[in-house]
Structure 1
Amino acid sequence: MKLVRIQEMENYILANGTVSIDDLCERFDVSKNTVRRDLNRLTEKGVIEKVYGGVTATEKQLIPFENRHHVYNDEKVRIALHAASFIEDQDFVYIDSGTTTKWMFDHFPEDKFITVLTNNLDVINAVSDKENIELFVLGNHYQAKTRSFVNISSFSLNKYNVDKAFMACTGASISKGLTNADLHEYEVKKSIVQKENELFLLADASKFGQSTMLTYAPLSRVDHIITSAPLDESYKTFFQEENIVLHTV
């Protein structure tokens, strides 16, 4: 599938810094014309620039999902626990996949009775034995690399009236919005943010100013942003204009 190939090509270039046209042809088993067309898409997006015989990355390397559990861990825990404080008794909440949202229920009070909808394996494990939390699980195919369940129909999502959605992202920026690197998870995230609910973004400061190929929502869609360090003034101005509440923990 073209979108998947371009996504994988972007990740490969970001991981290696500079690569040749011949290298990309061999790795993805496509012609030079196909590679050039794909690279034009990435050039327009601004993540690469062309050099003699190849291309070079213009953005910081994104950390592969399987390694994110060990990076910025203290920040992720603080963000998650603060996010959990916004959940009220009787709330029906969606908890997104990701390495930050997994910590939300580590110290969740037993006197709050809520309903959780999620496709996040770590969240499922965290709440499955809590008597005060009713659990609904999305997806019928487990994706090991992101520890989440995917293959979710829009019909199955539409039947749920979620009060609050706690979302993660691979990158966040004013121009590209909330982005994700996995095509299957993109479909889930996009469906959730299109519903009428209060939207919380959980993202450590390293995520801002980065982007991947798939935008699942504009940044203006967010109601609350919970992050780990002060952000650039351009973000603060944008948040004020869009009535987005910034929480730095």
Structure 2
Amino acid sequence: MRRLRSEQNPGDPHAGHEPGAAQEAGSLRYGSAPGRRAAILRRVSQDGYVSAATLVDELAVSPNTIRRDLRKLAQDGLIRAVRGGATPADAGALPFSDRSTQAAGAKHAIAAAAVRLIEPGTTVALDSGTTTLEIAKLLPADAGLTVVTHSLPAIAALAPRPDITLIGIGGQYSRDTRSFGGPETVAALEHLGVRTLFLAATALDEAGVYGATPYEAETKRRLISIARDTVVVSDARKFELSAPIRVCPWSAVTHLITDALPEPLTLPTPTTVAP
């Protein structure tokens, strides 16, 4: 009994309320751990990431209760617990269509800032991703651009445009990312050169840029190796996510375009915060 009491904060109004007492969240009540955890799963599925602080406010329970809920859901393989919150169990494998609807306004603003860096008559490379697809849609007309990409949606968006020279890179197709990857893709990129690479990320932190799979990371590294400038385009949510493979450190990045930087993080790379 002493151990149980020591885990509760005497000043916490929610202490001792799990799982018997109902907790209020807006017009809904979550009276048990299963009800709360179902609500957490819905939130994670809808937004792709939810912070523990947000869950404390929305579900009107203590931080300790949320930590226990997140730990249990992670142990059951239903979510991935990350710093400060949770993501889907495999954040890197969210369907492309689902990811394209997340932070749509931020992605459009980032893409608009990115195309302003493109010099007419140059060759650019577009990594696979929902933000780089927005860049493909916003490429300026009659700028004499050559575009290299392994992203099938970007290829589809650019194929009808007679003002763009399009180099599509094939390989093993991934339905999760709607892009090509693997040894064939890496080999096809070997003898190319581009002025500016727009690089997507599964996750970001103070150490660099991360990818979800070995194939994805290998393709990104080859793209970096053939580019004069590497511009990372990523919304701020990626600083809250995690991924297993570091693609590159910030020293390999020429520029970062995002919609916000988490405080107090400072990066050595020049950064544009898109409005």
CA drift at 1:182: 2.4
Structure with bigger gyration radius = 2
Q: CA RMSD in A?
A: 2.7
Q: Is the 8 A contact 1:119 1:138 kept in 2?
A: yes
Distance in 1 between residues matched to 2:166 and 2:74, nearest whole Å: 48
Local SS of the residue matching 1:194: helix
For residues 218 and 22 of structure 1, the distance between their equivalents in structure 2, rounded to whole angstroms, comes to 31
Q: Deviations over 1:108-157 (max 9, x none)?
A: 32220111111111111111011111111112222111111112444321
Q: How does 1:131-210 map to 2 (within 5 A)?
A: 131-153=162-184, 154-175=186-207, 177-210=208-241
Q: Answer whether contact 2:82 2:241 (CA < 8 A) is retained.
A: no
2:149 counterpart of 1:118: yes
2:256 equivalent to 1:245: no
Measure, in 1, the Cα distance between the counterparts of 2:245 and 2:128. Answer: 16
Deviations 1:41-92 (A, max 9, x none): xxxxxxxxxxxxxxx8343333543121111011011111211121111111
| Pairing partner for 2:138 from 83, 95, 107 | 107
Q: Which amino acid aligns with 1:171?
A: A
Partner of residue 215 from structure 1, selected from 246, 259, 265: 246
Question: Which secondary structure does the structure 2 equivalent of 1:132 belong to?
Answer: coil
1:224 is the counterpart of 2:255: yes
Counting matched residue pairs gives 200
TM-score, normalised relative to structure 2: 0.65
Q: For structure 1, which segment, 120-129 or 148-157, has the greater mean C-alpha deviation from structure 2 after superposition? A: 148-157
CA distance in 1, matches of 2:235, 2:82: 21
Question: Structure 2: which 5+ runs fail to align?
Answer: 1-48, 51-68
1:79 aligns with 2:110: yes
2:210 aligned counterpart, secondary structure? strand
**In the TM superposition, what is the alpha-carbon distance from 1:100 to its structure 2 partner?**
0.7
Describe the shift of the 1:21–1:120 C-alpha distance in structure 2 as closer, same or farther (beyond 3 A). Answer: closer
Residue 178 of structure 1, CA deviation? 0.6
Amino acid at match of 2:200: A
The percentage of aligned residue pairs carrying the same residue is 27
Secondary structure, counterpart of 1:75 in structure 2: helix
Residue 57 in 1 paired to residue 81 in 2? Answer: yes
Correspondence for 1:18: 71
**Which amino acid counterpart does residue 57 of structure 1 have in structure 2?**
A
CA distance, structure 2, for counterparts of residue 133 and residue 233 of structure 1: 41
